[in-house]
Structure 1
């Protein structure tokens, strides 16, 4: 599973000895994951974070006695292909869904809008270029649970990741077909939230839970007016299952992205079976004010020579359509398995995104992968993935570290093959 999620799980150890000798522990850790990816409609790419996002982290704890422990975790994203911290989409293809219905705009204006919404080479992840984008957290573990503050993985996404047979990595990840409507136009689930307060607890029975709340400037990109999430999990024996819900509110305070996930895994001998259901709805995108402000700052000045009436009419075309196109309403299911044999592991899954918007842009993902473990820390992986896109869908297989981007044309099938090496330290 994603290492940041494992780090979060460590924080749930709430039942500690009543008295413990003072101990301080600080650990530097990380993942170096690099490979090659071939996508249909795009040139082969050297990629970072194919199976797991490459990263460098520091975590530590101090035993305070009386069942108390202070903890912290700082985790920075690292793109091995460029050495930066802000990956772009895997391919360079244009996404068209956000600008559907805008054909009334003059061709040069429509082209400018598309460049503005999806700038060539622009960051697809971590656009704010935060140093510790993956995790920046401090907190206190008590005999009654852990209290954590900062930027952390959300409760709902932890359940989503636990139900993904490809552990939210490679072109087989369930997230390849849940990124907004018709392709990566928006997140289909809030992966992290900044400025958050979280309470977590795990009982000896394996039953656990978490609640997260955050105010203005929260969410993955800091665009929410407020955010909350909660999860109930059971991790004992062969079971790792749960139900999670996230709910964000746009800058005006209106309900924005809401997602609910149910699922998990069951292990039996050399087999591990996965299943999950995910629902996402967003009637008020937190991005909408940014889109409209971008029009006013970048497009409107070029329309001044056309006169106020024409400029206002063209602005109305943009605003009306971007408001509708940024909405989401979809449900998806995923089933998969892992089979360990010798030093290797076979992974397979099928996922289907059922789009409930009028465009009916469904997508179905099929993926097959293999890991060969050279040691406990290092493995080589190969994954082949195929996405069948319907209507205006443009989903293209992703990686753990970056969204896959778009197929060249709406309705075109997405295909990809990844070959990489991952080292944990």
Structure 2
């Protein structure tokens, strides 16, 4: 009897805490059969996150009174194909915040860079899977000759201080972020991996347009190199179709890549057609451009469950070897020779909760 009363009291206290803090468990599980072919090499297997990145998260808000609220957000990436054998970490987002309707939100921790958000917002495929535009870290993924520069424009940043405008400005929105590289002051490059980024936009009714900018200090402990990224995107929902466009440019360490992406989503019955064309142009060397075409369709079995298929092709110039993105910790990637064309497809199932 005593144990029963203790259990009831614990459940009551937990229920009260959950009600007070409004804690929510959420997630997405997305797995697909993927095939990639580059020249004479190919790979087929199970991939993860072909339509939406798989994740598991916890978030909550506590009303502190007087219009002030405290919030938290913990979100971990999940590999559905192998059960996340590398271990669970809240690498997608880990933040704590204070906010008011009038003043906006102060957010601390690991979060997406506001300079990157236009890439996924104005891509019909959300910058994931074989159809994704592949617009994060443009300089680092330009070609094998470019390599992956240390500190280039990130998709997410750690150690960040963020300020977000309130959602009461008649459609205007914005975010400013500063992230610490956390180097000691007595090294030659004590600002290594420090970054600043911002995004300003307007979204009202069918129109959405936004500008993003980011700057990251990279290089080595002895030499500082600034990586700068700028992008602008827009979309307009006509009801029968939603066209979108994004232009992005990234430069640093003597390299520069420009990206132009155009796409459209078209609702068809209980599903949606997605189509996109992207052109990647190397500005620092000749004959190293790439073109990508992607076409996909997703059919909603319910509000939370979708089956989908995507096919994509990348055509590379003689000095380029851009590929297709497949999210998997166990699926090997075929080596892409300079000038090779790459094709791929994904057939998948996504469920959100």
Give the TM-score range, shorter chain: 0.7 to 0.9
| Change in 2 beyond 3 A, CA 1:400/1:334 | farther
Aligned mates of 1:211, 1:400 — CA distance in 2: 29
Q: Does 1:270 align with 2:240?
A: yes
SS at match of 2:117: helix
Aligned mates of 2:321, 2:345 — CA distance in 1: 17
Matched residue, 2:71: 71
Aligned mates of 1:406, 1:154 — CA distance in 2: 30
Normalised by the length of structure 1, the TM-score is: 0.69
Aligned mates of 2:161, 2:141 — CA distance in 1: 26
Aligned mates of 1:203, 1:186 — CA distance in 2: 40
SS at match of 2:288: coil
Q: Which stretch shifts more, 337-346 or 246-255?
A: 246-255
Gaps in structure 2 of 5+ consecutive residues: 1-18, 184-190
Provide the aligned length of Structure 1 versus Structure 2: 315
Q: Comparing both structures, which one devotes a greater share of its residues to strand? A: 2
Which of residues 33, 38, 58 is equivalent to 2:35?
Answer: 38
Which of residues 148, 159, 174 is equivalent to 1:186?
Answer: 148
**Runs of 4+, deviation exceeding 4 Å:** 400-407
Output aligned runs, 1:310-349, within 5 Å.
328-349=255-276
Output aligned runs, 1:42-53, within 5 Å.
42-53=42-53
Matched residue, 2:225: 255
Matched residue, 1:150: 109
Output aligned runs, 1:247-396, within 5 Å.
247-250=215-218, 251-252=220-221, 254-283=224-253, 328-358=255-285, 360-396=287-323
Matched residue, 1:140: 98
Normalised by the length of structure 2, the TM-score is: 0.83
8 Å contact from structure 1 (residues 396, 404) kept in 2: no
1:17-53 alpha-carbon deviations (Å, 9 max, x no partner): xxxxx94200010110001111112220111111111
Aligned mates of 2:317, 2:43 — CA distance in 1: 24
Matched residue, 1:213: 178
1:217-266 alpha-carbon deviations (Å, 9 max, x no partner): 49xxxx94311001101111001210001110025472332111100311
Output aligned runs, 1:49-64, within 5 Å.
49-64=49-64
TM-superposed CA distance for 1:180, in Å, is 2.3
1:332-375 alpha-carbon deviations (Å, 9 max, x no partner): 10001000011111000100000112254111000100001100
Q: Does 1:196 align with 2:160?
A: yes
Aligned mates of 1:45, 1:176 — CA distance in 2: 24
